[in-house]
Amino acid sequence: MFLGDQLLAYLVLAMGGALLVGNLLALIKPPPEAKEGELERAPVARSLVMAIIGLIAAVWAIASLVSG
């Protein structure tokens, strides 16, 4: 099987990392100019909650990979 028994842990690590980094970058560096119908900034509370969920998923996946 591709990547062995650790495939799910690798996928959770990738998704959690992307969720964390993407939301933090949306807060740190918003687009220079908002397009029509888009927000000027990302909603802070929602972005922080999603970044925390991504952090938890990434840490959980790393712990699963290290312990397994």
C-alpha 64/C-alpha 4 separation (Å) is 14
As a whole number of Å, the CA-based R_g of the chain is 15
* Residues of the chain by 3-state class (helix, strand, coil), percent to 5: 70, 0, 30
Please tell me the distance from the alpha carbon of residue 23 to that of residue 29, in angstroms, as a whole number: 10
With cut-offs at 50, 70 and 90, classify the pLDDT of residue 1: low
Which residue has better confidence, 21 or 33? 21
Q: Tell me if 61 sits within 8 A of 13, measured CB to CB.
A: yes
Does residue 45 surpass a pLDDT of 90? Answer: yes
The structure tokens 């996928």 sit at 11
